[in-house]
Amino acid sequence: MMEAKLLIQETTVVVFVLGGPGSGKGTQCPKIVEHFGFTHLCAGDLLQAEIESESENGTMIHNFKKEGKIVPSEITVKLLQQAMQQSDNNRFIIDGFPRNEENRAAFENIVKIKPEFVLFFDCPEEELTRRILNRNQGRVDDNIETIGKRLKVYFESTLPVINYYNSKGKVQKIDAQRSVNEVFEDVKSVFAKFKPVVRVDSTK
């Protein structure tokens, strides 16, 4: 691999997308991709893909998850870095990351990029619980007890990251309690400086 390929361009733009489970990140990210030409990276999806590839790294990630342990930040960050290096785009939204302070520090140390801003979908706990219960009837991880645990992790681990970036003036807070279209109108205002892209269909 050429050395140049290992470097992420200085013009690269990264936006972290954060919010509790059920806050609408998964609905809004594809709209940002379509409208503003960003590439959508999801740390969870990259970890899952690595597990399915059955690489040595994938086996290690699988074992961490099986034991209920958090995958070390360095592994997650390097997967994100690799995905960015392999993309021909230089605009990225990273969904559901950083989940904690360790993730945040590892990303800045390894990738050497600070986010342009953090898109924060703000939604109260009761509304998040209601949405998760409604959206996936019958899913194992969507019972009240498990939802409570997921929300606890979010409030204890991810909110400090949002507060950190807020202290740096980098958080764009969106009221996520409204309809999908109303929320996206606010999102569009936040991304207004990135001109909407006209994409040419490059069918391979």
Phi, psi of 14 (to 5 degrees): -120, 130
* HSE toward the beta carbon, residue 156, CA cutoff 13 A: 6
* HSE toward the beta carbon, residue 134, CA cutoff 13 A: 8
Can you tell me the distance from the alpha carbon of 159 to that of 151, in angstroms, rounded to the nearest whole number?
11
Alpha helices (H) along 111-158: 125-135, 144-153
Residue 144 in tokens: 């009240």
Task: Measure Cα distances from 173 to 19, 126, 186 in Å.
Answer: 10, 18, 9
Q: Which positions make up the binding site for a ribonucleoside 5'-phosphate?
A: 69-71, 96-99, 139, 150
Q: Which positions make up the binding site for ATP?
A: 22-27, 135, 178
Cβ–Cβ < 8 Å for 129, 75: no
Q: Which positions make up the binding site?
A: 22-27, 69-71, 96-99, 103, 135, 139, 150, 178
Q: Which positions make up the binding site for CMP?
A: 103
